A and B are shown apart, each in its own frame.
Chain A
Amino acid sequence: MRDFPLNNVSPFATMPDGQAHGAIHIAPVRTGFVFHVLGQATGTIDQTRQQQLQKMMDAIAPDLGGELRVLSPGQWFWVGENDVSQGRFGEIAGQLPGEFALSDQTHGRVRLRVTGARVCDVLAKGVMIDLDEGIFGVGQSAMTQIGHIGAMVTRLDRDSFEITVLRSFADSLWHELHHMAAEFNGPHS
């Protein structure tokens, strides 16, 4: 059984890569990693601590090129585009200073992207936070709810968002997003 083929199956395995609703595109992200970084909670979100952590990460794993997304005081998702093996994860977890614990969530939290000129109108059908660019700028993340489903929303660009969701909800969210985007079907949107 040593050679038994092992496939890493994405919950989006059967989903098309860039499904379009007029100008709205919904695309799964099937590679990369999501690590949950757990520091001791302090009761407030601390920017300097995050910068220090980012520096440490860059030093420990420069190859990963990941970024931090705030989850709560002392906790982040460390997200990047490269695939990371279990072994490599173990090394990184070992190298991180003792004050931080690391939990691999690459399989538990999956990502997709929604892009297009009317993307905010699409997301406003599920997300309560104000997506006005002046308020929720590029690079910002928020753990929130899309309809009934919890998800992290990250602004990648003016018209582009990444959504990180628990794997078990991925299928439902995928369909929900398509439903939300359906009105932009057609050439004019």
Chain B
Amino acid sequence: MSSLVKCPHCGLRPREEFTIRGEVPTPRPAAGADESVWFDHVYLRDNPRGQHREYWHHSGGCRRWLVLDRNTVTHETGDVVDASTLKSEGRA
């Protein structure tokens, strides 16, 4: 799903309407966490060949940040969810 994205709020929209940030990294560390934990969060990426979770912003539509489960080889997309819902699951 790299041509069209099914925004959970707006429906099927073209890639042109989105701003992509890249991989969902490790969760943002707690303020007091070690520099190395922060380094990991800010710089290191899984970058898998296969299923990948990533941030897309529907900047030309509802302006919500979404998390896509997308395959980096086939470009097929599984779930697309509003990113705010991940935090409650401790995943952001």
A touching B, CB within 8 angstroms: yes
B13 and A128 within 8 A (CB) = yes
User: Whole-angstrom distance between the alpha carbons of A41 and B9 in the complex?
Assistant: 12
- Pick the interface stretch among B24-32, B45-53, B60-68, B71-79: B60-68
Contact A43 B82 (CB under 8 A): yes
Does A185 have its Cβ within 8 Å of any Cβ on chain B?
Answer: no
> Once bound together, how far apart are the Cα atoms of A71 and B59, in whole Å?
12
Q: From residue A149, how far is it (CB to closest CB) to chain B in Å?
A: 9
Known: A44-B82, A142-B61. 5 other contacts (CB 8 A): A43-B82, A72-B9, A73-B82, A143-B10, A144-B17
Residues of A within 8 A of B (CB): 41, 43-45, 71-73, 75, 128-130, 142-145, 150
Candidates B11, B12, B63; contact of A72 at CB < 8 Å: B63
Given contacts A71-B62, A144-B61, A150-B60, contact A128 B14 (CB under 8 A): yes
B60 contacts A73, C-beta separation under 8 Å? no
* Pick from B11, B16, B84, B85: contact of A129, CB under 8 Å: B11
